[in-house]
Amino acid sequence: MKDHDAIKLFVGQIPRNLEESDLKPLFEEFGKIYELTVLKDRFTGMHKGCAFLTYCARDSALKAQSALHEQKTLPGMNRPIQVKPADSEGRGDRKLFVGMLGKQQSEDDVRRLFEPFGQIEECTILRGPDGASKGCAFVKYGSHAEAQAAINSLHGSQTMPGASSSLVVKFADTDKERTLRRMHQMAGQLGIFNPMTIQFGAYGAYTQIMQQQAALMAAAQGTCLNPMAAIAAAQMQQMAAFNVSGLVAAPMTPSSGTSTPPGISTAPVPSIATPIGVNGFSPLPPQTNGQPASETIYTNGIHPYPAQSPTVADPLQQAYAGMQHYAGPAYPAAYAPISQAFHQQAPIIPQQQREGPEGCNLFIYHLPQEFGDAELMQMFLPFGNVISAKVFVDRATNQSKCFGFVSFDNPTSAQAAIQAMNGFQIGMKRLKVQLKRPKDANRPY
């Protein structure tokens, strides 16, 4: 029999050709084994390269862990064996997120800092692809109490060299929290990214949040197979449901005969097709490259897209196909273009700096009357870091002059914004988005 306080260990990095009988001798050296199971795929029966191991005695588990974990590499593996309490042993929250570390600090430095509060099972510094520290780490203790002690003593206790504020020590997100947060981020970005959904009224904003919440909750509870589908659905519902300050002027018309989702009105959708395409959701044929947009818009009088997109009979279908693209069954694959397309968490605070570098400043004309700086910024955030967004206002009437500036911190974002937003239809108007004239172009001599 096993001790009542026995620990079930997870063993990772096992060569797939080793079965229970091969592993047994390796682990028996630390005590009598109660149970050893190699994890196999439920359907294919394939060896998963890891196992659960329970010793009769708790002490054996601890010994095995300290002797083997990360200490030895089994033949054919390129990472050392993992021996640690299985996740199912859940001994409360004991993993910490540590922020505001110095970029120079190594795993060892962090260990030294956290050692006094308990046994550290895991210490990882988060690094970028180039190996540079991101200034944060995960530290896992053997118990919740140890982790809590570390928080109590270390959080805010000191400021590391090069860090912008004092040390952050808190419980790390659980997996669930992490996925939820990610989805929130995405939902937020989707909301921002789709100018159709920009809400001006308090009611609209409220409803938008509620719908996204509902979708997220459904996704989180597993009632919806694909969280992105849920978000997409919320977005679509929302587009259909709200008349946004004149942005969506058309009445709701039931769809007819196409793959159009029920209840989506057809009129407003052409205008969302462009930003969706540019962000990788649906490939839209390139626009009038190098040609002044005004020509496209005003010589033929109407819509540039149908004329140049013969393959897209119904822009709504196009837009909806884009939605389905990422709402499709291949979640990870579908996830990728989204995370790539969106820039990480653009700050929504700036507003101090005016112009960005040459090639980063856009002049935007034909803004809706009701657009203020915030709406302008929201509309361009999906394309990069917006340094500033300014709508010009008539100083006598305080009315928008319907044009403004948006500055990015890099020319690529600016170009992406031009590609996506120039000619973008809002209500009866089409945005004109182009590089701001350089200063000296104005000078007479």
Partner DNA sequence: TGCCATT
Site residues, DNA (CB under 7 A): 294, 298, 354-356, 361, 363, 365-366, 388, 390, 392-393, 395, 402-403, 405-407, 429-430, 432, 434, 436-437, 439, 442
In angstroms, give the least distance from the CB of 435 to DNA: 7
Q: 40 by DSSP, 3-state: which? A: strand
Closest CA to 214 of 190, 243, 235: 235
Please, which residue, 285 or 292, has the CB nearer to DNA? 292
Closest CA to 141 of 114, 174, 170: 114
Q: Return the number of the residue (231 or 297) whose C-beta is nearest DNA.
A: 297
Q: How far is the CB of 224 from DNA (least distance, A)?
A: 40
- Closer to DNA by Cβ: residue 23 or 433: 433
For the bound state, the minimum distance from the C-beta of residue 350 to DNA, rounded and expressed in Å, comes to 11
Helices (H), ranges, 38-174: 58-68, 107-114, 144-154
Q: Which is nearer to DNA, 102 or 359 (CB)?
A: 359
Burial 171-187 (b: 16+ CB within 10 A, else e): bbeeeeeeebeebeebb
Residue position matching structure tokens 């982790």: 147
Phi-psi region of 217 (alpha: psi -120 to 50; beta: other; left: phi over 0): alpha
Closer CB to DNA, 207 or 288, in the complex: 288
Could you say which DSSP state residue 56 is in?
S
Closer CB to DNA, 85 or 356, in the complex: 356
Q: Which residues pair with 393 in a beta bridge?
A: 400
CA dist list (Å): 196 to 87, 134, 258, 371, 431: 43, 35, 22, 13, 14
- Phi/psi for 377 (5° steps) reads -60, -45
At its nearest, how many Å lie between DNA and the CB of residue 402? 6
Q: Residue 294 or residue 345: which is nearer to DNA going by CB?
A: 294
Write down the least CB distance from residue 345 to DNA, Å.
22
Are the CB atoms for 366 and 432 separated by under 8 Å? Answer: yes
CB 436, min distance to DNA, A: 3
Phi-psi map region of 49: left, alpha, beta (phi>0 left; psi -120 to 50 alpha): left
CB of residue 398 to DNA, shortest distance in Å:
9
Q: Which CB atom, from 122 or from 373, has the smaller least distance to DNA? A: 373
Q: Helix %, strand %, coil % for the chain, to 5?
A: 40, 20, 45
Q: What is the 3-state secondary structure (H, E, C) of 241-308?
A: HCCCCCCCCCCCCCCCCCCCCCCCCCCCCHHHHHHHHHCCCCCCCCCCCCCCHHHHHHHCCCCHHHHH
- What is the smallest separation between the CB atom of 205 and DNA, expressed in angstroms? 25
